[in-house]
Amino acid sequence: MQHRYPAAIELLQSCLAKLKAAQVLDRGQALFALGEVQRFAGDAATAKASYSQARELLEASLREQPDNAFLVSGIAAVDAGLGNRYVAIREAGHAMESLPASKDALIGPALEEQKARVLARLGEKDGAIASLQHLSTTPYGTQGPPITPAVLRLDPSWDPLRGDPRFEKLCEEKPK
């Protein structure tokens, strides 16, 4: 599979240019996505700058919506990108605890997925894989594709888990 990171970076930069200054949350999310693609492309310095800008914008949105678990979860992902290990793990846990699956069966698991991404990013394989094992059998709504073996195989967010037999087992197709 070929990754077309330069094209993705160009597309995200074009989207950012079209967003109005008032669209703070959208700009923050787009900057985070840009940082992720820059990181996947091997440009850590530029990714860090994008993450820093994303954090500022997401924090501004959080001041207006202090109980928004998605914003807290997004900031956790940004902090993971910035290398703020303990802050990122704490924020991801806080987001998940504030809106657990027992309160919202669609959003709660999506927050658990975000925490798994943060944990994987930071090398916390046991926690990430435990969450993925749970999520692989849990139907839920997400902004992107739910966790499936194909998503686990293809999404570079899960690269830190590759080679772990528990993760590789999750990547196997299940018989229908």
User: Over the stretch 50-82, which tens digit does the pLDDT of each residue have?
Assistant: 999 999 999 999 999 999 998 999 999 999 999
CATH numeric code, 1-64: 1.25.40
pLDDT in the model for residue 146: 79
The CA–CA distances, whole Å, from 5 to 13, 28, 76 equal 12, 19, 23
pLDDT in the model for residue 175: 53
User: Over the stretch 134-160, which tens digit does the pLDDT of each residue have?
Assistant: 998 887 776 666 788 998 999 999 999
Name the token pair of 135. Answer: 């999520």
Please report how the helices 44-64 and 69-82 are oriented relative to each other, as an axis angle in degrees rounded to 10.
160
Q: Classify 145 as helix, strand or coil.
A: coil
User: Over the stretch 112-121, which tens digit does the pLDDT of each residue have?
Assistant: 999 999 999 9
